[in-house]
Structure 1
Amino acid sequence: MGRTLRGQEAFNLFQQGKEAWNCFIDEQDVTKVDFRGVTFSRALELKVLSISFRGFVFPEVRFETLNFDSLSTIDFSEAIFRGNAYFSGVMFPVGKLLFSGACFKQAAVFSLSSFQGGADFSEAEIEIGVFDKTKWLREGDVSFNGARVGGLNFTDSEGIARIEFYFGFRSCNSGIDFSNSTFHEIQIQVPTPVLIDHLRFDCVKVHQECVLNNLTALHISMRNCDFNGNFMLGDLVVKRLDCAGSKFERNADFHNIAVKTYIDFNGCSFSHPVAIDGIRLGDPIGWGEFGTQSALSQSLSSIKKRFFMEETEPHNEIELAEIAEYARSYRRLKQLAAESDNHSLELDMFALELKASRWLKAEWWARIPYDLYALFSDYGRSLLRPVVGLFIFWILFSLVYMGCAASSSRSDFMGQWSAGLLLSLAQSVPFLTWHRTAKSEALAVLYPAAGGFDVPWIVHLAAVSQSILAVIFIFLLGLGIRNRFRI
């Protein structure tokens, strides 16, 4: 069994410096160091106001319940913690707390500790950092710039002053958890594009401003939070953002946010109109990936897959439940966009809601109207598509009318072509009084007969079909105009 250093013996060895300490730890096979009970300021007889463990090598070490309040600086820079490092219940000083370049090969436990200023963990390597139930008593910055982190836990913490967490990770294999914490004012910055597995903010209370910027995560959860001051979430790339049940008492600003699946605002309450400009969401047809195709090509692809049975169906109830969650979250975003008078975003959320709802139809034929609505009007957002549809069917039906023309009229090709176009145009606007006159003139040229004209039954069928299609396309055009100009 290895040796344990305790109390005064450990302190005496510390006073001999880094070289003596590290040599003794290795040569004497020390497996545990326990500084509990040592009063550093008194032991140093106040000759210095700082202590340095810079470059020290520790096995499992305990600093629990120590009070460093009278010191100005505590320096653990470049220290190596081979075992668990326990700083639980420690009162850290108002001055500098340095762990820059430190290496925690196992857990770094700061539970129930009190920080009277900031803390510097820049360039540190932390397998797991446990900061639950900590208190941040004064304004300060907590920096993890350039750190390699397995995971950080700040649950049930309390910040009495303004705290800025600077997570400039080189890597973060797990996540960051602030659940059930209370802060006076908090700002979280993640300047480097490192993927964080999850950021949990559930049941957090922030009395003043809360700012979360430049985050990249698989999942950000802020359920049932109370934000009493201004809230800003921006420059975000995330797979899923969950804000269900949270309360925003002041201004809430969500800007430049890219979400690969959906945002959940269900059950949220906003005291002021919410700013959700610049939100970009994924497409349920693409199964959560950012759409790179145009809306037209997506619609054509969807119809092609449907009719040629190439479409991938949701395979189980879990996937169907996820799609239903998409639809529900898009519906809520549509409501928020309407409340904030963001008509463009409201239309976009309506389109995504329909795309998600389409998957919930059990029968394949029940999905066809959704595909056609997308193809011919982009869910009521396009003016060009109905016009193009009218033009295409105008030409197609004119060819049908020409193909059924009487043999006696086929010698005059140009006259026949003009009459076919005229008849097709008349059927495209059946509600105009001009329709009857133009139709009679065209029929007389295409299907002449003694005493009038003889129209084949297939032409009657084509004319009725074209009139119905024309009314549909004109309706879609009117819908597009209404949505574009909010008539």
Structure 2
Amino acid sequence: MADEKDPVTVLEGDAAILLWLAGRKAWNIWMEEHPKASVNFEGVDFSYRVLEKRFPDNENLKRLIEDQKDREVISFFGYKFSGNAIFSSAKFRCSADFREAIFSGGANFMLAKFSDIANFMNATFSGNAIFDKAVFSVGADFIDSKFNKTMSFFKISYGKYFRFASVDFNSKSRFEPEHADSIEMLSFKGTSFERPFSLKGDFNCIPDLRQTKTSHHVDLSKLTVKLKRDRKNYAILKKAQDKEDAERLCRLKEIAESNKNHERALAFHADEMRAKRWIKLNWLQSILDSLYSFTSNYGQSILRPFVLLMLFIFMFAQWTISFREADSDSDFRDALTVSIATVTPFISLSKGARDRGLERIFGEDIPKDYDLISYVYAFASYTFIFLIGLGLRNRFRI
């Protein structure tokens, strides 16, 4: 006869709340006596005011309220969960303290609402940790925590900061918030990713992945960031608000390059250079960097240098035709031919076309300094041609 599996103990409803109110020691003793027991707090409203109405005569609750007059905290500090822990759709009306909590089974916080700080520092998740569609009004701390199986923050809402510094991710993980633009600080500094990790969203901050260890693919293909800069004195002097953003962007660039994602690597490099401008670069370097940004967006744009090249060609042609002799039968087409031929000497017919055009416009009397201006125009035009080539190379790079 097949062995029958032992029934799994499920602690839920009032019994679960009353045991939690009894304190950490009583809770952990019960968990030791009931290995693999599941706990179900689904939909529970963790508010002392609500709980006081539900358990008006509970002495443990009265003591908690008395001890936390200044600031309410829903504390699971050091609590052990021997089986699955279900907090889906639970409401934490004040700070939630899960520091050093041990989740031996799965931890389900799907659709949970945290009205204040959610603190999971030094927590251990041995099973899947699911925070999908959870709402964080302030933020969450997971510093020095450990995730041994899947970690998922999919379509989480709001939250100003999330800190995953020095965390061990031993299985696949993802951080894909629905409202990434509300996050002001996101840190994975010093974290170890032993399995694939996905980071997606349009962030108004620079995620910090410095000092991270990546053993598998880190997907940044859907990650966009916004470098925060302040204008100093003049419009051109826009400096990064945070001096460390350049290093953060450098690390994002390195990860994108290791993934052969050239488009994202270029975007991160562009923001990295903007973050260095007027801070790590001197004034001359910063001016040249600003020109590089304006003319080609750091090699990402083909249209910008092309438009500037066309503009210079027509401007030089107009300037050339303005010096023609009054009795000259030349027209704008001759000046345009001279302008194009000046920047395309590598085409065999350009020299002859330029000479004939100049003769029709000026005859033998070429204006003073015309050749000098032509050199300046040619140099600028060659620069735009180079930037067009750079943009094409970056666009179609394999």
- Identify whether the pair has TM-score above 0.5, normalized to the shorter chain: yes
Counterpart CA distance in 1 for 2:373 and 2:228 is 37
Offset of 1:357 from its aligned partner?
A: 1.4
Q: 2:14 aligns with which of 59, 62, 75?
A: 75
Partner of 1:203: 144
**Aligned pairs, how many?**
360
Q: Percentage identity across aligned positions?
A: 23
- The 1:72/1:212 distance shift into structure 2, 3 A limit, reads closer
The answer on whether the counterparts of 1:107 and 1:127 sit within 8 Å (CA) in structure 2 is no
Offset of 1:76 from its aligned partner?
A: 7.0
- The 1:154/1:107 distance shift into structure 2, 3 A limit, reads farther
Partner of 2:374: 463
Counterpart CA distance in 2 for 1:481 and 1:274 is 27
Pairing 1:232–2:174 present: yes
Offset of 1:362 from its aligned partner?
A: 6.9
- The 1:181/1:481 distance shift into structure 2, 3 A limit, reads same
Normalised to the residue count of structure 2, the TM-score between the two structures is 0.81
Extract unaligned runs of 5+ from structure 2: 1-7, 32-36, 53-70
Give the letter aligned to residue 218 of structure 1.
K
Offset of 1:106 from its aligned partner?
A: 11
Offset of 1:130 from its aligned partner?
A: 1.4
- The 1:367/1:107 distance shift into structure 2, 3 A limit, reads farther
Counterpart CA distance in 2 for 1:95 and 1:159 is 10
Partner of 2:307: 388
Q: Secondary structure at the match of 2:298?
A: coil
Counterpart CA distance in 2 for 1:213 and 1:385 is 37
Counterpart CA distance in 1 for 2:321 and 2:149 is 74
What does residue range 447-458 of structure 1 map to in structure 2 within 5 Å? 447-448=362-363, 453-458=364-369
What does residue range 292-303 of structure 1 map to in structure 2 within 5 Å? none
The answer on whether the counterparts of 1:136 and 1:163 sit within 8 Å (CA) in structure 2 is no
Pairing 1:480–2:359 present: no
Q: Secondary structure at the match of 2:294?
A: helix
Offset of 1:196 from its aligned partner?
A: 2.8
Partner of 2:73: 128
Pairing 1:420–2:335 present: yes
What does residue range 209-288 of structure 1 map to in structure 2 within 5 Å? 209-215=150-156, 216-236=158-178, 237=180, 238-255=183-200, 257-285=201-229
Q: Secondary structure at the match of 1:241?
A: strand
What does residue range 57-68 of structure 1 map to in structure 2 within 5 Å? none
Offset of 1:135 from its aligned partner?
A: 0.8
Bigger strand fraction = 1
Offset of 1:363 from its aligned partner?
A: 5.8
- The 1:398/1:97 distance shift into structure 2, 3 A limit, reads closer
Q: Secondary structure at the match of 1:224?
A: coil
Q: Secondary structure at the match of 2:206?
A: strand
The answer on whether the counterparts of 1:107 and 1:130 sit within 8 Å (CA) in structure 2 is no
Higher relative contact order, chain-length normalized (CA < 8 Å, sep 6+) = 2
Offset of 1:389 from its aligned partner?
A: 1.0
Offset of 1:73 from its aligned partner?
A: 5.0
Q: Secondary structure at the match of 2:321?
A: helix
RMSD: 3.1
What does residue range 328-343 of structure 1 map to in structure 2 within 5 Å? 328-343=247-262
Counterpart CA distance in 2 for 1:176 and 1:325 is 26
Counterpart CA distance in 1 for 2:191 and 2:9 is 41
The answer on whether the counterparts of 2:87 and 2:112 sit within 8 Å (CA) in structure 1 is no
Q: Secondary structure at the match of 2:83?
A: coil
- The 1:168/1:240 distance shift into structure 2, 3 A limit, reads same
CA displacement, residues 281-318 of structure 1 (integer Å, 9 cap, x when unaligned): 11334x6xxxxxxxxxxxxxxxxx89x9346765xxxx
Pairing 1:160–2:104 present: yes
Pairing 1:141–2:60 present: no
Counterpart CA distance in 2 for 1:384 and 1:95 is 60
Offset of 1:352 from its aligned partner?
A: 1.0
Counterpart CA distance in 2 for 1:342 and 1:128 is 44
CA displacement, residues 11-45 of structure 1 (integer Å, 9 cap, x when unaligned): xxxxxxxxxxxxxxxxxxxxxxxxxxxxxxxxxxx
Counterpart CA distance in 2 for 1:195 and 1:358 is 35
Partner of 1:123: none
CA displacement, residues 435-460 of structure 1 (integer Å, 9 cap, x when unaligned): 21111111111111xxxx22122311
Larger Rg: 1
CA displacement, residues 348-400 of structure 1 (integer Å, 9 cap, x when unaligned): 11111112112415765543322222222121011111111111000000111
- The 1:72/1:465 distance shift into structure 2, 3 A limit, reads closer
The answer on whether the counterparts of 1:78 and 1:102 sit within 8 Å (CA) in structure 2 is no
Partner of 1:443: 358
Offset of 1:133 from its aligned partner?
A: 1.0
The answer on whether the counterparts of 2:203 and 2:224 sit within 8 Å (CA) in structure 1 is yes
Q: 2:127 aligns with which of 168, 185, 188?
A: 185
Give the letter aligned to residue 344 of structure 2.
V
- The 1:359/1:131 distance shift into structure 2, 3 A limit, reads farther
Give the letter aligned to residue 263 of structure 1.
P
The answer on whether the counterparts of 1:85 and 1:107 sit within 8 Å (CA) in structure 2 is no
- The 1:364/1:150 distance shift into structure 2, 3 A limit, reads farther
Q: Secondary structure at the match of 2:245?
A: helix
